[in-house]
Amino acid sequence: MAEQADGPALNNLGSHLYQGNGTEKDIPGAIGYWIRAMTQGSRDARQNLATISGNIEYVESIIAKKLPQKTKVQAIIYCIGRANYLGENVEQNVEFGAEILKRLADDGFVLALCDMGKLEFRRGNIAEAVEYWLKALAKNSLDANKSLAKYSGDIEQVTTILSETISEEKKVGKILYCIGENYLNSKKPAEHTPFIVSVMHKASEAGDADAADFLGNLSLKGKYRGITVIKNEKDALSLFLKAQDNGYEYDVIKTKELEKLAKNIGYSSLAEAHEKRSLTRQAHTALSAAPDLVLEGWSDDESDSIQDSQRSHSDDEVERVEVNEESSSEYLPPLPEEPLTEVGVEIEESSDEEKHSAALPKPPKSHRKKARGNKGKSARGK
Put simply, whether the predicted model's pTM sits higher than 0.75 gets the answer no
Q: What is the pLDDT of residues 135-153, one digit of tens each?
A: 999 999 989 999 999 899 8
Residue 211 scores a pLDDT above 60: yes
Q: How many residues does the chain have?
A: 382
Residue 336 or 68, more confident: 68
Residue 157 or 317, more confident: 157
Burial 321-346 (b: 16+ CB within 10 A, else e): bbbeeebbbebbeeeeeeebbeeebe
Question: Quick one: pLDDT at residue 3?
Answer: 56
Question: Quick one: pLDDT at residue 275?
Answer: 86
Q: What percent of the chain has pLDDT over 90?
A: 38
Residue 164 or 372, more confident: 164
Residue 199 scores a pLDDT above 60: yes
**Measured between alpha carbons, how far is residue 253 from residues 45, 335, 372 in Å?**
74, 43, 68
What is the rounded CA–CA span in Å between residue 30 and residue 21?
12
Lowest mean pLDDT among 194-198, 232-236, 378-382: 378-382
